[in-house]
Every structure is written in C-alpha cells, then in structure tokens.
C-alpha cells in the first residue's frame, strides 16, 4: 500500500462512498465482479446515469479510444429473449449510420450493450420556463434531426423528453436526439408491457400507436411526439396526464388536447402536431421545422387554428353520431332546444363510443399477440376487459360500432353465439355496416368448416336437414364475406387490406373456385408473408387441390409464424404411400398446461380422400377450442370430450392416422387430469389407460413419432405420482420402470431430445424417492 | 427433437461470483483467500490484539489464524453468517482463539501464508489508541479497522487504475482532496498542478465517480449474495454518517 490512510481520510472517503445510493440487491449487480473488473469489453464503467425501460445507462470510458461514452446495457429481464436482443443490436447498428450534429452518435452495438455519444446535459424539460424562442429553436433543431433520420429511412417511434437531451448553457444550448432505432423492437414488447409495468409513460405516444395500430406508425407519428414534447416544454406538463398507463393511452386516443396558450402561432403549431388524424398534422418533420423557423423569423406561420369549415364538418359528424346515440337512449324526447343543451354531454358519449372502439382494437391486437406467445390467459383477460367496458357503455348508449366491436371481442373469446348476437344487433342498427358483416362472415365461416367436416364424416347417408342447414350457412357466409368487396376505402383500411383479401379468397374457396382462391392467397402472402391465417388457408387449399408438396411447404411456413401453433406434420405424401404413416416432426409448443404438443397435420394422400382429412381437422379444431376455452365458461370436460368423440369418428374413417390417435390421446389425457382433480379417481385411471393406448397406437403406426412415445412416458409418470399419493409404491414403481425404458428408447432414437432427457430425469428422481421410502415402510 | 421451443432465455447468473463466494463454493481456495487475507489482515490483527495479546504474539496469532482457516473445515460448513466474510471472520476468530489457547503453539507458524508485514507491529497506530484497544470489544475493533481496510483497498485500486491509464494527475488531485491532513480548495490544487479550476473539478468528479464504484466492488468481494451485499453496504454507510 502506498498510502497510509488517516482516520480522518477514512471518514471522508466513507462519506464519499455513501453518496452512492445503495441499489436494491441482486439485480444489476452482475456488472461489478470484484476490483479491477468493473468493465464491459473495452468500456470501463464510471457510474450509472440513468435507467429506464431499456435497461441501465452508464457513463463509461472507452479505454482504447480514450473517450467517454454512454453505455446502454440491455435489460436482462425475463422475456427479453436473446433473439430480441440481437434484433435490438441490429436496429442500433442501422442507427449508427446516422451522422448529424443534433443526433447522439451510436458508436458500437452488441446484444449486450450499445455505446453512444455521451451528452453532458439533461432532458429538454430543463428548459421549462425559459423563453419560448429558445424552446422553439431547440425543437426546430430536433425536428431537422428527425427529418434527417426519416430521410435515411429510420422512424424514431419513441420521441419524448427523456430522448431529447440538451447540452450547454444560455443561447449555446444544443439539443441531441437519442435512441434512434431502439423503439422499433420495443413495439413487439409493448404488448407485454401493457399487462406488466415495464412501459414508461405513453403521454408522448401518438394515437395510432396508443391504439395499437402499428402499421399506421410513420414519420407523422414522430411529428406528433415532437409536438407533445414541445407542449411539455412550453407548459411544464405533458399533453395528457393520468396515474394509470392505460388511462393515459385512453386519453391519447380519445381526448382533444387543450392549447398551451403561450402564443397564438405557437399554439397553432403545437396543435397541428398533436392532431389525432395523421393527415391533419405536418406531413413531415421538415414542415414542422420550417414553420418554427418562420415563427422565429417573425414571419406568419402556416399552422392555423382549426378552420371554420373543419370545425363545422366536425360538428356535423358529431351530430350524426349524436342522433344515433340519442335515438337509442331515448334522449330525443324533448324539444330541439333541449337537444342543444344536452349536446355537450351526448357528443362526448358518441365520441366515447368511437374511442372505446379504438381501444378495443388495441386490446384485440394485444390479445392476439398474447395468443401467439402462448399466453391465452392474459389474452382472455384483455378481451374480457374490452367486453366489460362495452357492456357498460352499451347499457347507456346503443351504437352500432359498439356492438360490432363487442362481436369481434366475443369472436376472439371463442363465444360464437354471443358474437353472432352482437353482430346481428350492429347490423340491425346499421344495415350497411360492412365491418360487422365481414365479421359475421368469419364467424359463420368457421362454423361452416366444422359442420362440413362432420357432414363428410357421415358420408352420403347424412341427415338431409343438416345438408340444408349447411347450404344456408354457406350462402350466408359467402354473402357476408363478399360484403367486403363493397367496402368503402376508409372501412377497408380500418379492417386492413390483407384481411379483405383474405376474406375474398375464402369466398372463392366457399364457391368451390379453388384455383382462384389459391392465386388470391399467394398474392396476399407475397405482400404480407406473416399473415398466418392466409398461410394456413393456402395449405388447406393446396391440399384440396392435391398439391401435396406445396401444402406441406406452406404448413411448414406456419411453424415460423406462430410458435403456439404446434404443427407436427404427419404427411403421407402420395409418393411415400406407406400405410404406417410417415411423418416429420417440427418444433412444437405445448398445449396450455398439459405439457403435450397438439399435433397438426396435413394429410396429403389424395387417395385417402377428404373424409379422413376433414374428420381429423374437425377433431383438431375441437381440441384447440377446448384448450382455448375459458376455464370458467362451461364445464371444461365437455370440450375435451367433444374432441375425443370427434377424434374417434375420424379414426372410424381412417384408423391409420397416427396424428389423430395422438390427439385423441391428448384429449383423454387432459380429461383424466380434470377427473383426477375432481376426485373421480377411478374414471381418471380408466381415461389415463385409454390415453396410453392411444399414444401407444400412434407410436406403433409411426415409431419415429417421438411425441406420442414421450406422451406415454409422461402419462405413466403422472399415474405413478397419483399412485404414490395413495401409497401404492410397488405399482408406482412398475409404471416408472416402464416409463423409464420408453424414455430411454426415445433418447436412443433422438439423442438430442431435451424433453426425453427431462422426463427420464424426472422418472429416475421418482424412483429414487420410492427407494428412499421403502425401508421406512418396513 | 420434438421439444425445442419455449426455452432459450439467455439467463445470466443473478449475482456475480465474488472472491468470497468462490472460496465458499470450493470449500477452499487458497489464492482467493490469500488475496482477502492480505487485504484484511489488519482488522484480524486488531481483533486479536484487543484480546490483550502482546504485539509479537498477536502478529504470530494472526498468521496462524489464516493458516488454520485454510486447513480447517470451517469454510465448507454451512453457516447463516457465511454470506459475509466479515461476519464469518468474527465467528471463526472466536473459535480459533478458544482452540488456540488450548493448543498454543501447535499450529505451524505461518503455514506458508505470510499475511502480516514484518513491520506490521505498529499497524494499529493512528486507528486505535492503546486505551481503546483495552476497552473496546474485539468485534468492534475489527469493524472499525474493516472500514478503513475497505476504503484503503478501493483507494489503492483507484490509484493503480488511474496510473495505468496515464491519469496520475487525477489521482494526485483526488489524494490532495481526500487524503491530505488539511482541507484544500480547488484553487490550491489548481496551482499545485498547474491546472485550470475546471480541470481540477473534472478530474475530481471523474475520480470520485470511479472511486464509488470501486468501493462498492471492494464490498462485493467480501459477500456471496445480494442480501449479504445489502446488509454489508448498510452496515458500512449506515453507521458512518
């Protein structure tokens, strides 16, 4: 030691050390690994300068280039997968190409951290209370920087005061825009954030983003956020405030912002940025910058308070909505004078309806994302929230838009009858509501598919009444879906162009025009390769056309699209023709809570013909429906039983379909679990035995079908656990030994199988438990 | 290869391995223990001295203690106090002292582990007075010296680091500001090193920030889990202000 510290020095240095707030233990502690290692690559961390949804930010030294940088560490929260972190890095690398005096440069980006220019300054909100000229100048510079990024194809998507830093003093203040390219991927995360709490304030988010319409986000969204930041700088508060994030989102979508009342021209500029409709904002960041320059130069600005005609047209629109509302709610009982008095209140109600509808769309988007992520519980919660809001609202004011929206939510909740009820009501109130017709078409179409499957099962001797009903269903589904052809442009765009084309293709398919359906779907997929339903529809159409290879290819494409979809393809291509059923397994995800993958399959043996395929599909649909059904909605056993019954019918048609055997086993397995949970142990045992037989049969037909074999292992394991509970040790041990040898066999087949290994471990563990118990029993 | 989805979260360990957790994990880790012994011999020495040992005896006893620690199975035993090196040492020291009085001289001197410098005899001067040594509990003596040792360790790390980076002046400024006997102001320091006041301020800011992290890192070395870290930091700062 070179220095001998005096007690006085020790005291001083301790006080200095104590100035660091003691961070909550554990999280984030990973960075410091002992003396001499407070580093990350060539960066030496100096101190933490902030943290947010994007993780921690440190001031650091680049030890090679000897410059100070801001180092953003990628958050290590669960859920931010390696894949996503890599994507972050890629986006940040794209942003690294930007070079502009008002953009903080990105030096370096890896999945672990992003190194960027260190700005010695604070948030732009530090200028609150400064002369408007200064604020306008800083915002103008920021707008020019944003324009520069737009010209390089990068939309920021997350502009807010904490991303606009100001360095320097007095009139030399300089603004820097941070974090270009980092928000794009956060959009994927935001659905998580909504239900969690990672998301920061959405007060600066444009309505299109707040409503979850990701595809509507463009350069004008950045203009909005700049305007919102401008608003905050001028007034000291964001345009919309509320303690709860969801409420802020609602305000952003629903409420008109109040003018900052700083200067008439600046007010007009801010309000133009903050217009709810993108088309009423500045068309580009440059236009905003130009207007600010005009203001700074004392020239007249282009932004105007909303014109008289605009306000009039808005008034008329409101009145129209008002009449629908008032008529339904019986408010129109008084004289017209009374109407005028009540107008303020009911206009708000009508607007509320429209905005509640927008919020429902956001909820739907989120819910779909959760379904895709394999989190049906969260998804259903979101949807139910939407349903509740609407039911409350519709109890007071009946609007077609509300019933339509409710119908959509119900459809996604899988409540067919409720969905049809709501959509019918919407169409009663507004017969030309094409969105509602389209939606009703989708509901009928799904029903039609399963009825058709059942009818094919019954063969030519089917019930003639059923045939007539199906024909009626076909006609109404076709007519409803065809309604999208007549959509006006506005409605079509709100539905999404791709959905319209999808509907068109399904209509072709219903009409029996398979080739045209195929062409339509192919064109759609070219434009939107990630459209899952279209990809599946195309696979089915190809199957119906007998194009086995293409069907398989498109089905395989689904795997990448929807990781909750779980396709194991037992494809019998015409060429292979083996009765045993050849298949290939693809990465699968588990059916909710059961731990066994559902098998989806495309049977491509034209000789086997439609009935088997249709029956298998119907059984699969029932299985899916059972898995997706809300636990409390109906006795859950019923859904699973239905899946088992449909599976049996399919096997009556063709007992050679290993996938169907497997899936029926899954149905029985879940039933067994439910029975066991309900205390019906004898019934549970027999259901388990039946499930075992099913899986065994599947494995017999396709020995390489490891999923079926592992399901047996798992079942025996479960069975053993039940036996253990009631103290029947030797029976449990027998089950476990069989499970063990089966797992080992699968492992020999595919040595890299993680699941086999896991199960084998579990089996061994249980056996060890039993051995430990046995001496004590004696 | 049926099941591959669902995993792939690249979870990192929740807490880094530290000097102390490595020692615990292996049950024995001579090099890590030596490192800690070198850093914290003085508090141990103080503890033993406070028991009334003459200086030379205390010096030998300190050597013996660390040698004994390495050979004992204490490190491998589960103990609720194991999370913190400091707390662990206190318990170990009590055990050692009881055992040692009975088998005085039995342990090999040093055991190949020389942690106390030869001139370490007056190591306590300036930190603890003779009176305090007689009146304070050995545990309290250890605590007080421990604080000094942590600060010293962080300061030394700062010095090394700044010198490696060619920032000797930074450390000189820091030293004058924090280690000197009297208070100095920017102006004095600026004149002394021919710097602008702004540079002095910048250098000092940098060194201070870096020092804080290093002090925290020094504490981290001596704990094995987040809870222990929180307790230790609370002890260090909670009672110092």
Which pLDDT tens digit goes with each residue over A635-661?
A: 667 777 877 887 787 777 667 777 778
Interface test with B, best of A24, A26, A27, A29 (most B CBs within 10 A): A29
Q: How many other CB atoms are found less than 10 A from the CB of residue A685? A: 16
- Cα–Cα distance, B99 to B97 (Å, whole number): 5
If DSSP codes are grouped into helix, strand and coil, which group holds residue A334? coil
Spatial contact of B116 and B169, defined as CB atoms under 8 Å apart: no
CB A540 within 8 A of CB A601: no
Mean pLDDT along residues A436-465: 70
Judged by CB atoms closer than 8 Å, whether chains meet at B6 and A589 is answered as yes
Could you give the CA distance from residue A67 to residue A61 in angstroms, rounded to a whole number? Answer: 6
Query: CB-side exposure of B151: number of CA atoms within 13 Å?
Result: 29
Q: Mean per-residue pLDDT for A597-617?
A: 46
pLDDT at A462: 60
| Nearest-angstrom CA–CA distance, A774 and A772 | 6
SS (H, E, C) A738-749: HHHHHHHHHHHH
State the average pLDDT for chain B: 76
CB within 8 Å of A656: residues ≥ 6 apart:
A579, A580, A581, A701
Band the pLDDT of A124: cuts 50, 70, 90: very high
Burial label for A19, CB within 10 Å (0-12, 13-18, 19+), is exposed
Q: Which of B5, B36, B214, B216 to mutate to test the interface with A (most CBs of A within 10 A)?
A: B5
CB proximity list for B108: less than 8 A, separation 6 or greater: B67
Q: Which of A144-153, A507-516, A517-526 has the highest mean pLDDT?
A: A144-153
What per-residue confidence (pLDDT) applies to A25?
36
**A665-683 per-position pLDDT tens digit:** 888 888 887 787 777 777 7
Q: Residue range A759-765: average pLDDT? A: 82
A114 pLDDT more than 70: yes
In sign, the C-alpha dihedral spanning A360, A363, A365, A367 is negative
Write the ipTM. 0.81
Distance of CA A77 to the CA centre of its chain: 18
Report the residue from B1, B165, B236 with minimal CB separation from A752: B1
What does the pLDDT read at residue A174?
93
| B13-48 per-residue burial string, b: 16 or more CB within 10 A, e: under 16 | eebbebbbbbbbeeeebeebbbbbbbbbbbbbbbbb
- Residue A43 pLDDT > 70: yes
* Residue of A17, A81, A587 lying closest to B212 (CB–CB): A17
Q: Does A33 touch chain B (CB under 8 A)?
A: yes
CB contact under 8 A, B155 and A18: no
- Cα angle A118-A121-A122, degrees, rounded to a multiple of 5: 120
Q: Please state, in angstroms and rounded to a whole number, the distance separating the CA atoms of residues A78 and A73.
A: 15
- What's chain A's average pLDDT? 71
In this predicted structure, the answer to whether residue A456 has a pLDDT above a threshold of 60 is no
The shortest C-alpha distance from A23 to chain B (Å) reads 8
- Average confidence (pLDDT) over A736-756: 75
- Selecting among A62, A108, A141, A158, the annotated active-site residue is A158
DSSP A632-697: TTS-HHHHHHHHHHHHHHHHHH-TT-HHHHHHHHHHHHHHHHHHHHTT-HHHHHHHHHHHHHHHHH
**10 Å Cβ neighbour count for B64?**
22
- For chain A, give the number of residues: 778
Angle (nearest 5°) at CA A132 between A130 and A136: 115
Annotation says A158 is catalytic? yes
Confirm or reject contact between A754 and chain B (CB < 8 A). yes
Q: Which of B2, B9, B126 has its CB closest to that of A597?
A: B2
Q: Which residue from A151, A138, A136 is spatially nearest to A98, judged by alpha carbons? A: A151
* CB burial of residue A214 (10 Å; 0-12, 13-18, 19+): middle
Closest Cβ–Cβ partner in A1, A29, A46 for B229: A29
Q: Among candidates A505, A541, A510, A543, which has minimal Cα distance to A523?
A: A505
Q: Which of A5, A22, A374 sits opposite B230 (nearest CB)?
A: A22
User: What is the nearest CA distance from A587 to chain B, expressed in angstroms?
Assistant: 5
| Residues from chain B contacting residue A82 (CB–CB below 8 Å) | 8-10
Position A557 confidence tier, pLDDT thresholds 50, 70, 90: low
CA distances from A777 to A24, A357, A562, A766, A774 (A): 48, 65, 50, 16, 5
A59 interaction partners in chain B (CB closer than 8 Å):
209
Contact B4 A20 (CB under 8 A): no
What is residue A102's predicted lDDT score, i.e. its pLDDT? 94
Q: Chain A residue with minimal CA distance to B221?
A: A34
Give the residue, B56 or A403, on which the prediction is more confident.
A403
Window A:563-582, CB contacts with B under 8 Å: 563, 568
List, for residues A285-317, the tens digit of each pLDDT value. 999 999 999 989 888 888 876 544 444 344 434
Interface test with B, best of A4, A9, A10, A59 (most B CBs within 10 A): A10
**3-class secondary structure, A96:** coil
């Amino acid at each position: 030691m070179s220095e001998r510290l005096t007690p006085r020095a020790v005291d001083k240095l301790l006080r200095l050390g104590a100035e660091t707030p003691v961070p909550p233990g554990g999280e984030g502690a990973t960075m410091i690994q002992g003396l001499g290692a407070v580093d990350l690559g060539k960066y030496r961390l100096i101190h933490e300068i902030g943290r947010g949804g994007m993780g921690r930010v440190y001031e650091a030294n680049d030890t090679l280039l000897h410059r100070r940088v801001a180092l953003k560490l990628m958050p290590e929260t669960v859920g931010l997968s390696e894949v996503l972190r890599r994507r972050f890095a890629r986006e940040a690398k794209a942003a690294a190409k930007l070079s502009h005096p008002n953009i903080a440069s990105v030096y370096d980006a890896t999945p672990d951290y992003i190194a960027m220019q260190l700005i010695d300054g604070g948030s732009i909100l530090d200028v609150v209370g400064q002369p408007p000229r200064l604020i306008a100048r800083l915002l103008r510079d920021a707008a020019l920087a944003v324009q520069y990024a737009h010209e390089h194809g990068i939309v920021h998507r997350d502009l807010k005061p904490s991303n606009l830093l100001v360095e320097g003093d007095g009139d030399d203040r300089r603004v820097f825009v941070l974090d270009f390219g980092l928000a794009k991927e956060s959009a994927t995360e935001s659905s998580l954030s909504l239900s969690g709490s990672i998301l920061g304030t959405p007060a600066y988010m444009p309505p299109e983003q707040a409503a979850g319409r990701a595809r509507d986000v463009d350069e004008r969204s950045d203009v909005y956020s700049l305007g919102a930041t401008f608003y905050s700088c001028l007034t000291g508060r964001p345009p919309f405030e509320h303690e709860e994030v969801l409420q802020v989102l609602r305000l952003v979508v629903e409420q008109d912002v109040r003018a900052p009342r700083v200067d008439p021209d600046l007010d007009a500029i801010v309000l133009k940025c903050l217009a709810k409709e993108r088309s009423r904002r500045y068309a580009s960041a440059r236009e905003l910058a130009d207007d600010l320059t005009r203001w700074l130069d004392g020239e007249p600005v282009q932004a105007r308070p909303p014109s008289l005609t605009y306000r009039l047209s808005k008034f008329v629109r409101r009145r129209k909505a008002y009449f629908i509302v008032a008529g339904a709610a019986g408010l129109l009982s008084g004289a017209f004078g009374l109407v005028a008095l009540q107008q303020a209140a009911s206009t708000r109600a009508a607007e509320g309806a429209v905005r509640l509808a927008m919020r429902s769309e956001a909820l739907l988007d989120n819910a779909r994302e959760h379904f895709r992520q394999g989190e049906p519980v969260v998804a259903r919660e979101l949807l139910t929230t939407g349903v509740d809001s609407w039911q409350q609202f519709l109890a007071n004011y009946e609007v077609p838009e509300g019933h339509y929206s409710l119908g959509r939510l119900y459809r996604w909740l899988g409540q067919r009858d409720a969905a049809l009820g709501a959509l019918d009501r919407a169409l009663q109130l507004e017969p030309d509501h094409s969105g509602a017709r389209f939606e009703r078409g989708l509901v009928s179409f799904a029903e039609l598919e399963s009825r058709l499957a059942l009818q094919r099962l019954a063969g030519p001797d089917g019930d003639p009444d059923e045939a007539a009903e199906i024909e009626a269903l076909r006609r109404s589904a076709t007519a409803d879906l065809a309604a999208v052809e007549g959509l006006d442009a506005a409605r079509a765009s709100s539905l999404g162009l791709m959905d319209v084309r999808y509907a068109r293709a399904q209509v072709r398919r219903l009409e029996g025009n398979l080739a045209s359906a195929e062409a339509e779907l192919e064109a759609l997929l070219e434009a939107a390769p990630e459209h899952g339903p279209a990809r599946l529809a195309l696979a089915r159409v190809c199957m119906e056309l007998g194009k086995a290879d293409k069907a398989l290819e498109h089905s395989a494409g689904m795997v990448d699209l929807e990781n909750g979809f779980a396709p194991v393809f037992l494809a019998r291509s015409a060429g292979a023709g083996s009765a045993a059923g050849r298949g290939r397994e693809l990465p699968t995800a588990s059916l909710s809570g059961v731990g066994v993958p559902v098998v989806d399959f495309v049977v491509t043996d034209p000789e086997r013909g439609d009935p088997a395929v249709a029956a298998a599909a119907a059984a699969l649909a029932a299985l899916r429906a059972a898995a997706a059904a809300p636990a409390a909605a109906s006795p859950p056993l019923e859904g699973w039983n239905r899946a088992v019954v449909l599976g049996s019918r399919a096997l009556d048609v063709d007992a050679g379909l290993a996938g169907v055997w497997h899936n029926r086993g899954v149905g029985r397995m879940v039933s067994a679990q439910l029975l066991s949970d309900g205390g019906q142990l004898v019934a549970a045992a027999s259901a388990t035995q039946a499930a075992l037989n099913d899986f065994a049969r599947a494995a017999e037909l396709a020995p390489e079908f490891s999923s079926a074999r592992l399901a047996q292992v798992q079942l025996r394991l479960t069975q053993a656990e039940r036996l253990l509970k009631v103290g029947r040790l030797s029976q449990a041990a027998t089950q476990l030994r069989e499970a063990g040898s089966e797992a080992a066999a699968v492992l020999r087949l595919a040595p890299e199988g993680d699941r086999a290994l896991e199960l084998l471990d579990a089996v061994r563990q249980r056996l060890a438990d039993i051995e430990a118990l046995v001496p004590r029993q004696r | 290869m049926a099941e591959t989805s669902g995993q792939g979260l690249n979870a990192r360990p929740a807490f880094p391995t530290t000097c102390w957790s490595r020692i615990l994990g292996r049950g024995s880790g001579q090099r890590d223990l030596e490192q800690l012994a070198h850093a914290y011999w003085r508090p141990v020495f103080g503890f033993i001295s406070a028991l009334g040992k003459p200086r030379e005896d205390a010096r030998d006893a300190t050597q013996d203690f660390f040698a004994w620690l390495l050979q004992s199975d204490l490190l491998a035993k589960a103990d609720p106090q194991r999370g913190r090196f400091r707390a662990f040492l206190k318990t170990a020291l009590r055990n050692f002292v009881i055992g040692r009085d009975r088998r005085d001289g039995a342990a090999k001197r040093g055991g190949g582990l020389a942690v106390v410098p030869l001139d370490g005899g007056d190591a306590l001067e300036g930190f603890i007075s003779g009176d305090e040594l007689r009146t304070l509990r050995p545990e309290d003596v250890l605590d007080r010296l421990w604080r000094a040792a942590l600060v010293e360790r962080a300061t030394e790390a700062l010095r090394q680091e700044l010198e490696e980076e060619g920032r000797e002046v930074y450390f000189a400024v820091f030293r004058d500001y924090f280690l000197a006997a009297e208070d100095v102001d920017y102006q004095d320091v600026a004149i002394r090193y021919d710097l602008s006041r702004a540079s002095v301020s910048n250098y000092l800011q940098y060194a201070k920030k870096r020092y804080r992290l290093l002090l925290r890192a020094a504490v981290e070395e001596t704990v094995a889990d987040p809870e222990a870290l929180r307790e230790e930091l609370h002890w260090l700062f909670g009672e110092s202000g």
